[in-house]
A and B are shown apart, each in its own frame.
Chain A
Amino acid sequence: MIKLIHTADLHLDSPFSMLDLQKSEIRRQEMRDSFEALINLVYTTRSDMLLIAGDLFESSYVTHETLNMVKNGFARIPDCRIVITPGNHDPAGENGIYNKIDFSENVYIFTSEDISYLDFPELNCRVYGYAFTSQSYEKSPLCNEIPKDKSKINILVCHGDTATAIPRHAPISKNDLERADFDYIALGHYHNTDGVHELSNGGYFAYSGCLEGRGFDEIGEKGVITARIDKDEKGKTAFSHKFVPFSKRIYHTRSLDITGCDSSAAILAKINEFIKSEGFDDHDALKLVLEGMLSPSLRVFPQYYKEQINTLFSLKITDNTLPLFESAQLMSDPSIKGAFFDKIRPLLESGNAEERETAALALRYGLVALSGGETSDLN
C-alpha cells in the first residue's frame, strides 16, 4: 500500500495581487509556512510519496531563500519520495530553476517532455510523468499508449489542461485520461480542486488545486489530496482519498446590494452586517462589489469603508452602484444639476459596464462641483 500526498501549483515567490504591500508580505510568509506545514504533514503521516504536479515555483521570481527553504524542507523527510513534474511556470531545462539547486536524494524530477517513469520496487509502484521544458507544451502528452506493468501500482503525475483544447498547456482530454489507464492521475495546472473523479477503468484522477489562494480568482478552501492506493495479487486496486485543507486565508468574492442607503454610515453598517452574517473573520480576504442604486448626491468611499473595517484579513471594495436612487428629484431639478443629470442618464443606463461606471462617477463629481464642493478631495 502506498500513502501519498498530491499537491501542485504552489507558485512559490509569485506576487500576490489585490493586496497592500504589508498584506502581501504576510501572505508570502504564510505561503512559506504552508509549505513547512506540508512537510510536517508528510512527516507525521509517514507518507511514502509526495507528488507535486507542476508549478512548484514561479521561476522568474524565485529567490535563493525560497530555494533553500524548499531544499531543506525536502531534506527533512528523507523517507518520503518526492516526485516533481515541472510546469509552465517552472519549466525544466538547462537554465531552469531545477538546475540551480542540488536537492536531496529523495527528490525526483522529470526533465523530458517525453513520458518516462520512476520505478520504486519497494513500493511495487511506478510513477510516470513528463516535464514542461518551456512555457508551453503544445502537444497532447497522453495521445499515445503508455506500456505498463499491470502488476504494479501505476501513477501518473503531470501538469496539463483538461478543460480547454487550446494546445498551449498540454491539453488532455477525458478520453486521454481513460485511455492512459493509470491507477491514479495526479494533475496540476488548475488552482481549484473539484474533487477526485473515477474513470471507467477503475482509475482515478484529480486536480489537487493550489496550497494557498493568491488572489480573488482563487476563491474557496485550498489544500492537498491525501490518498492510499493498494493493489492485490490479482491486480485489483483499492483507492481511498481525503482532502486536507491548508489555506490560512480564504478568498471570497461577493456582491452586496446597498440600494436605498442614504449615508456613508448606512453603507458601512450594511457592509458590517453582511460580513457578520457571512461569518467572515480575519482568515478571510473579501472582494466586495457594491451594487444597487444610491442617491445621486451620495458619495461612495470604498477606501474609507475598507479602513473602517478591520475584522477581515483583507477587504477590497468596488463600487458598482448607480446614482439613480430616488433620482426623480434630480430629474426635476431645474438647475444645472437637473440638466447635467439629464445629459448623463442615458450613459447610466448603458449596457456597457465600463460606460456605466464612468457615468456614475462623472455624475457624482459633477454634482459635487455644481454644489460648490471641492473636487480636489475626490482624487
Chain B
Amino acid sequence: MIIEKIRIDCFGNLEDLTLELEDGVNIIEGANESGKSTIASFIKFIFYGLGTKASGTSPAERERFVNWHTGTAGGHIVIRTAEAKYRIERTLIIAGQRADGTQTKKSYREGLQIIDLSNNTPVSGIGSPGEHFFGVDEEVYSRTAFINQLDGAKVDGGKLTQSIENILFSANESVNISKAMKKLDASRVVLLHKNGAGGQIYELEEKCAQLEVKLESAKQTSADILEKESSLKAANEKRESDLKKAQKLKREIVSYENSKIAELFAKKRECLAKLEEIKLSLDTLRQNYTRDGILPDDNYVTGLEAALEDYENAKAQADELFTELELARASADASRNNTDELEKNIDRLRYARLSIEKIKKRAHFSSVISLTFALIAVLFIAGGLACIYLDFFADIARLAILASSLPILLAIVFLALKLGTSSAKKKQLKLSGASSEKELDSLVKSAENQSVQIKQSSDRLEKLTADCKSATALAETALQKLNEKDLWKYTDDTKENIRAAKDVCDRINKIQIEETRVNEALELLCTQLSPYDEAEVFRLAGTEEDRAGIDQENIGAKRREYEFVSGAIESLGVRIHNLEKELASLYSVSDNPARIAEKIALARDFISECTKKHNAYKLALEKIEEASISMRDNISPKLADFTSKLMSELTLGKYGEIGIDSDFKVSVRTEAGTRELGYLSAGTQDITYVSLRLALISSLYRSNTPGVIFDESFSRLDNTRLTQMLKLLNISAKNTQCILFTSNDREAVLMNNIGSFGYKKL
C-alpha cells in the first residue's frame, strides 16, 4: 500500500500541512520539534484513531494531539492499494467547551470517512481502516511499521535474534516471548512453587489447615463453655438453695440465741427494777424505824442483846443463887436437927461394918488354913499312893498316908471355924438393920453421905450467901449497861425493843442481802451482756415465729446443720469461682466456630480461584510453547528466504544465503563458510536486522503491507553504514514505500547517489 498524500488540517502543533509522497523511499527532513514524529503519529491516527489511555508519564494521545485552540484533530490521507485509491478522513472534536471558553465535562466526537476515490463514494462498514487494510491491529502496526533508532553498538547477533523473534512473535521488539513466558511462569509460581512447598495456594492450604485446627478447638471450647455454664448454673442454684437454707437456719439460731440474750436483758431490767424497789424499801424502812436518829443495826442489836443477856443471866444467876440460898438455909436447918442421931447411926453402922470385916477376915483365914491343910493331906495321900504303886519307899509312903490324917483333921477344924463366922456375920447384919453386907455398906455409905451432905450444905450455904451478894452486884451492873445501850426507844420494853430492832435489822438485812444478790446478779448480767447492744439483740431475736422450729433440744443439731450447710456453701463458692475463672478463660479464647468455618470456606474459595488461575497459567505456558515451536518451524524458512533475497541483491550475492533456525539464530553463508551474524561487520548486521524486520512485516501483514516509517532511525550510523541501509531500503521499497524522518540532510545527500526518492523539508 502506498500513501500518496498526507493532509493535516490540525493535529498536535501542526496545522494546514500537506505532503505529497512518492513510491519507494521518501525522506522528510525537518529540524527538531518541527513535527516529524507528529506526522508519523498522524498517519497512525488516520488508520487507527488516537489512544485514550495515558502511558506512563505521557498523557493519552487524545490529550497530546487534539489542538486546544480549535479543540479538534483532523485531516486525511490518500492511499493507493492494489485494488483502488482511497481517501481516509478522520476528525476528533472535543465537546463540552462553552462559548465563553470555560470547560464542562469533556467528551470526544470522532468522525471517520473512507472515500473510494474511483467513484467518490464512501465505503461503509469499516470501523478501523488500519485493521481493514493491513489486517493487523494497532498494536501490531505500531510495533512493526515504525522503526525507531538503531543503536549500532547494540545490534549484535544475540540481540538481533532476540529482537527478530520478539517482533515476529509479539510484533513488539521489546516483547520477548521467553520473557512473556517467564512472566507467566513467575505469576504461576507466585500461586504455587514448583516443588509445591510455597506460593499463595500452599500458604492458603496451610492457613486452611491452621483454621481447621482452630475450628476444632473453637468447637471444643464452645462445648466446654456449654458444659461449664450448665455446671455453673447448677452450682449457683444449689448455692442459692443452700444460702436460703443457711439464712433460715441462721435466722432461727440467731433468733433463738438472741432471745436467750434478750431474756438476760429482761432479767437485767428486772434486776434494776428490783434494785429500785429495794432501795425504796430500805428508804421506807429506815424512815419508818429511825428513832432519835438511831436506826438499829446488827451491832446495836447484838450489843443490846448481849447486855440484856448479861443482865438476865446475872439476874437469873442472882435469883438462882437466892433460891438456892433459901433452900440451902432450909436444908441446913433441917439437917441441923438430925445431926446427932445421924452421928450415932453412923457409928453403929461403922461398928457393924468393922465387925463383919473382922468376921470375914477370920473366915478367910480359917478357910485358907483349912484349904492348906486339905491340900497337904491330898499331897500326902497322892504321893503315898504313887510311891506305893511304884514301889518306891513304899513304907515311907504308907507313913505319909497315915500322916495325912492330921492335916485332914486340922482342915476340918478350921473349916468349922469358918462356918461359924457366918452366923456371926448374920447377927451383926441384923443388928445394923441390913440384910446383907452390901446393904450394910450402902447404909454406911448413905449415912456417911448424909453427914457429908449436911456439912456440905452448910458450906454451901455460906458460899451461896457470898455468891448471892456477888450476883446481885453483877446484875445491877448489867442492868446499868443495858440501860446505857437501850437507846432506840421503839417501846419502853427493852425486850420488845430488841425484838423490834432485830426485826428491823432482819428486814434491813434481808433487803440488803437481797440487794447484794440482785447487784451480783446484775453485775454478772452486765458482764455477760456487755458485748451486746440491747436494741440489736431484741431486733435479732425477732418473734416467736422466727424461732418456731428451734428449741433447746434441737439447737445443737441446728447449729451442726448450719455449719454443714455453710461449709457446703463455701465449697460451692470455691467451685463457682473456679468455674467462673475457667469460663472467663474460655470466653477470652473462644471464637465463634461459624466465623472460623466461614474463613475456611472463603480460603477454600480463594484456593479454588487460585488453582484455576494456576492451571490457566500452566495451560497458557504450554500452549505458548506449542505455538512458539509451531511458528518457528513455519516462519523461519520464510524469513530466511525473504532476507536472503534482500541481502543477496544488496550485497550482490555476497551474503545471499541467510540461515535462520528455529531459535532465530541468524547465520550467513560466506565464501569462507557459514558464519554467525556476530562475526559480520556492524554495517552488515544493521542491514541484516532491517532485512529481517522487513521480512517480518511481509510475514505478518497478510493483506496490504504498510510503508515502513523510520523515525530518526539512522542518526547514529556512520555514512558507510547509512549508505548500506539506504541501499537496502531502496531495494526493499520497490512496489512499496518507506518514509524516513530525519533532522539532518545526510540521508538526502547519500540517497542522491543511490536512486530516486521523494523529499520534503519541513
Interface set of A (CB-CB < 8 Å, partner B): 13-21, 24-25, 28, 58, 60-64, 67, 100-102, 329, 332-337, 339-340, 342-344, 347, 357-359, 361-366, 369-372, 374-376, 378-379
Query: Closest CB of chain A to B344's CB: distance in Å?
Result: 136
Q: Are B180 and A372 in contact (CB under 8 A)?
A: yes
Knowing A375-B187, A379-B187, say if A19 contacts B631 (CB, 8 Å). Answer: no
**Residues B155-186 near A (CB distance < 8 A):** 168-172, 174-175, 177, 180-181, 183-184, 186
B218 (CB) vs chain A CBs: closest residue: A61
Query: Closest CB of chain B to A63's CB: distance in Å?
Result: 5
Q: Are B170 and A337 in contact (CB under 8 A)?
A: yes
User: Which residues of the other chain, B, contact A372 by a CB distance below 8 angstroms?
Assistant: 170, 172, 174-175, 180
Q: Are B592 and A63 in contact (CB under 8 A)?
A: yes
Knowing A336-B624, A365-B187, A370-B624, say if A17 contacts B619 (CB, 8 Å). Answer: no
- Which 9 A-B pairs have CB atoms at the shortest separation, nearest pair first? A361-B616, A339-B627, A336-B169, A15-B597, A362-B619, A366-B620, A369-B180, A362-B620, A372-B175
CA distance A60 to B592 in the complex (A): 11
B222 within 8 A of A: yes
B263 within 8 A of A: no
CA distance A128 to B187 in the complex (A): 61
Query: Closest CB of chain A to B185's CB: distance in Å?
Result: 9
Q: Are B594 and A357 in contact (CB under 8 A)?
A: no
A16 (CB) vs chain B CBs: closest residue: B598
Q: Are A379 and B171 in contact (CB under 8 A)?
A: no
Knowing A16-B598, A24-B595, A374-B183, say if A369 contacts B620 (CB, 8 Å). Answer: yes
CA distance A274 to B177 in the complex (A): 41
Query: Closest CB of chain A to B572's CB: distance in Å?
Result: 18
**Residues B177-206 near A (CB distance < 8 A):** 177, 180-181, 183-184, 186-187, 190-191, 200
User: Which residues of the other chain, B, contact A364 by a CB distance below 8 angstroms?
Assistant: 616
B700 within 8 A of A: yes
**Residues B273-316 near A (CB distance < 8 A):** none
B601 (CB) vs chain A CBs: closest residue: A17
B629 (CB) vs chain A CBs: closest residue: A339
User: Which residues of the other chain, A, contact B630 by a CB distance below 8 angstroms?
Assistant: 339, 343
Q: Which of A58, A61, A335, A362 has the most CB of B within 10 A?
A: A335
Q: Are B623 and A366 in contact (CB under 8 A)?
A: yes
A342 (CB) vs chain B CBs: closest residue: B627
Q: Are B602 and A335 in contact (CB under 8 A)?
A: no
CA distance A322 to B371 in the complex (A): 186
Instruction: Return the contact of B597 from the options A61, A101, A329, A343 (Cβ within 8 A).
Output: A61
Against A, the Cβ 8 Å flags (1 = close, 0 = not) of B583-610 are: 0000000101111011101100100001
Knowing A63-B592, A100-B230, A336-B177, say if A375 contacts B628 (CB, 8 Å). Answer: no
Q: Please report whether the interface of chain A is mostly helix, strand, loop or mixed according to DSSP.
A: helix
User: Which residues of the other chain, A, contact B598 by a CB distance below 8 angstroms?
Assistant: 15-17, 19, 21, 24
User: Which residues of the other chain, A, contact B190 by a CB distance below 8 angstroms?
Assistant: 376, 379
A363 (CB) vs chain B CBs: closest residue: B620
Instruction: Return the contact of A369 from the options B181, B595, B605 (Cβ within 8 A).
Output: B181
Q: Are A64 and B225 in contact (CB under 8 A)?
A: yes
- From B130-138, B244-252, B717-725, the one touching the partner chain is B130-138
CA distance A290 to B184 in the complex (A): 25
Query: Closest CB of chain B to A350's CB: distance in Å?
Result: 12
Q: Which of A58, A361, A376 has the most CB of B within 10 A?
A: A361
- Interface size, chain B (Cβ < 8 Å): 62
User: Which residues of the other chain, B, contact A333 by a CB distance below 8 angstroms?
Assistant: 136-137, 140
Instruction: Return the contact of B184 from the options A334, A344, A347, A369 (Cβ within 8 A).
Output: A369
CA distance A28 to B177 in the complex (A): 51
Q: List 26 A-B contacts (CB under 8 A).
A: A13-B592, A15-B593, A17-B598, A18-B605, A24-B594, A63-B222, A100-B230, A101-B230, A334-B136, A334-B701, A334-B702, A335-B170, A339-B630, A344-B619, A358-B616, A362-B616, A362-B617, A362-B623, A363-B620, A365-B616, A366-B184, A369-B183, A370-B175, A371-B170, A378-B613, A379-B191
User: Which residues of the other chain, A, contact B186 by a CB distance below 8 angstroms?
Assistant: 375-376
Query: Closest CB of chain B to A188's CB: distance in Å?
Result: 20
Knowing A357-B612, A371-B170, say if A100 contacts B227 (CB, 8 Å). Answer: yes
B514 within 8 A of A: no
Q: Are A14 and B594 in contact (CB under 8 A)?
A: yes
Q: Are B183 and A376 in contact (CB under 8 A)?
A: yes
**Residues B675-702 near A (CB distance < 8 A):** 699-702
**Residues B200-234 near A (CB distance < 8 A):** 200, 219, 222, 225-227, 229-230, 233
Query: Closest CB of chain A to B54's CB: distance in Å?
Result: 15
B333 within 8 A of A: no
User: Which residues of the other chain, A, contact B391 by a CB distance below 8 angstroms?
Assistant: none
Q: Are B613 and A361 in contact (CB under 8 A)?
A: yes
Knowing A13-B594, A372-B180, say if A334 contacts B700 (CB, 8 Å). Answer: yes
User: Which residues of the other chain, B, contact A342 by a CB distance below 8 angstroms?
Assistant: 627
CA distance A111 to B171 in the complex (A): 75
Against A, the Cβ 8 Å flags (1 = close, 0 = not) of B355-388 are: 0000000000000000000000000000000000
CA distance A114 to B187 in the complex (A): 59
CA distance A361 to B614 in the complex (A): 10
CA distance A16 to B613 in the complex (A): 25
User: Which residues of the other chain, A, contact B226 by a CB distance below 8 angstroms?
Assistant: 64, 67, 100-101
User: Which residues of the other chain, A, contact B523 by a CB distance below 8 angstroms?
Assistant: none
B227 (CB) vs chain A CBs: closest residue: A100
User: Which residues of the other chain, A, contact B699 by a CB distance below 8 angstroms?
Assistant: 334
Instruction: Return the contact of A335 from the options B171, B187, B200, B230 (Cβ within 8 A).
Output: B171
Query: Closest CB of chain A to B464's CB: distance in Å?
Result: 117
Q: Are B175 and A371 in contact (CB under 8 A)?
A: yes
Q: Are A21 and B599 in contact (CB under 8 A)?
A: yes
Query: Closest CB of chain B to A186's CB: distance in Å?
Result: 27
CA distance A167 to B592 in the complex (A): 33
B496 within 8 A of A: no
Query: Closest CB of chain B to A313's CB: distance in Å?
Result: 16
Instruction: Return the contact of A365 from the options B593, B595, B620, B631 (Cβ within 8 A).
Output: B620
CA distance A359 to B628 in the complex (A): 18
User: Which residues of the other chain, A, contact B219 by a CB distance below 8 angstroms?
Assistant: 60-61
CA distance A184 to B226 in the complex (A): 35
A99 (CB) vs chain B CBs: closest residue: B230
Knowing A347-B619, A357-B612, A376-B186, say if A25 contacts B595 (CB, 8 Å). Answer: yes
CA distance A191 to B92 in the complex (A): 59
Knowing A339-B631, A358-B615, say if A332 contacts B135 (CB, 8 Å). Answer: yes
Query: Closest CB of chain A to B338's CB: distance in Å?
Result: 130
Q: Are B624 and A366 in contact (CB under 8 A)?
A: yes
A14 (CB) vs chain B CBs: closest residue: B594
CA distance A361 to B616 in the complex (A): 6
**Residues B638-690 near A (CB distance < 8 A):** none
B139 within 8 A of A: yes
B439 within 8 A of A: no
Given contacts A329-B131, A366-B624, 12 further A-B contacts (CB under 8 A): A15-B597, A17-B598, A100-B227, A339-B630, A358-B615, A363-B620, A365-B616, A369-B181, A370-B169, A370-B175, A372-B175, A375-B184
CA distance A330 to B121 in the complex (A): 30
B476 within 8 A of A: no
Q: Are A378 and B187 in contact (CB under 8 A)?
A: yes
B544 within 8 A of A: no
B626 within 8 A of A: yes
A11 (CB) vs chain B CBs: closest residue: B594
Instruction: Return the contact of B222 from the options A28, A62, A101, A358 (Cβ within 8 A).
Output: A62
User: Which residues of the other chain, B, contact A16 by a CB distance below 8 angstroms?
Assistant: 594, 598
User: Which residues of the other chain, A, contact B229 by a CB distance below 8 angstroms?
Assistant: 64
User: Which residues of the other chain, B, contact A343 by a CB distance below 8 angstroms?
Assistant: 623, 626-627, 630
